[in-house]
Amino acid sequence: MKKVKVIKIDVDKCNGCRACEVICSAFHSEPKYSSTNPERSRIRVLWDPLKDIYVPVLAGEYTEAECNGRDIYTINGKEYDECSFCRASCPSRKLFKDPDSDLPLKCDMCEDEPPLPEPLCVKWCLSDALTYEEREEEGEEEEKPGEMEIGLESLIKKHGAKKLKDTLARLAKD
């Protein structure tokens, strides 16, 4: 059995305060809590007060290809733009990419040593728009790629393994 961590998102309770973005970027800064920048957060809130739309979205997988089409959802009379609920770090938008390096950002559920009782965005959401659950599922625990692995993988996809290897070798010499 493997443990699956789930953050449930209630868009009706989100008020767009963006505390989740602030704490996520602070927790993942180097050193920890040294800076805040929502653009480096692994959770972003789609924010449109005029339409009363606030959608927190957790960063998911990196993908090198963008979709050929787009979806528009209407839910309870509110129209949600294309890509509103999508978690991908993809070429069609800036979301979930580090603003300096352009490397993909992905939610890691605040996995840390020692483990936190719950993810920090959940803890900081005073509106209870985010709630945390753990459940067991069939299957083996998978080894999760670290931040560096995710970044290197995206660089290999973008530039090719040989170019990356040559560049690393050159930098190591400098």
Q: Which stretch binds ligand SF4 (CB under 6 A): 39-47, 75-83, 88-96, 164-172?
A: 39-47
104 is an interface residue for ligand SF4 by CB under 6 A: no
39 is an interface residue for ligand SF4 by CB under 6 A: no
* Cβ contact 46:38 at 8 Å: no
At 139, the amino acid letter reads G
Strand 78-80 with 2-9, pairing = unpaired
Touching ligand SF4, residues 124-143 (CB under 6 A): 124-125, 127, 129-130
35 is an interface residue for ligand SF4 by CB under 6 A: no
**Which of 138/142 has CB closer to ligand SF4?**
142
* Cβ contact 14:54 at 8 Å: yes
From 15, 103, 11, select the one nearest 58 (Cα to Cα): 11
* Cβ contact 58:131 at 8 Å: no
At 136, the amino acid letter reads E
Burial class for 95, CB neighbours closer than 10 Å (0-12, 13-18, 19+): middle
110 is an interface residue for ligand SF4 by CB under 6 A: yes
57 is an interface residue for ligand SF4 by CB under 6 A: no
105 is an interface residue for ligand SF4 by CB under 6 A: no
Q: How far is the CB of 66 from ligand SF4 (least distance, A)?
A: 22
Work out which of 40, 42, 87, 97 binds ligand SF4, going by CB under 6 A: 42
Q: Which stretch binds ligand SF4 (CB under 6 A): 64-72, 89-97, 103-111, 158-166?
A: 103-111
Cα–Cα distances (Å) from 87 to 47, 168, 170, in that order, read 15, 30, 35
Task: Report the interface residues with ligand SF4, using CB under 6 A.
Answer: 14-20, 24, 27, 42-43, 45, 54, 56, 58, 107-110, 119-121, 124-125, 127, 129-130
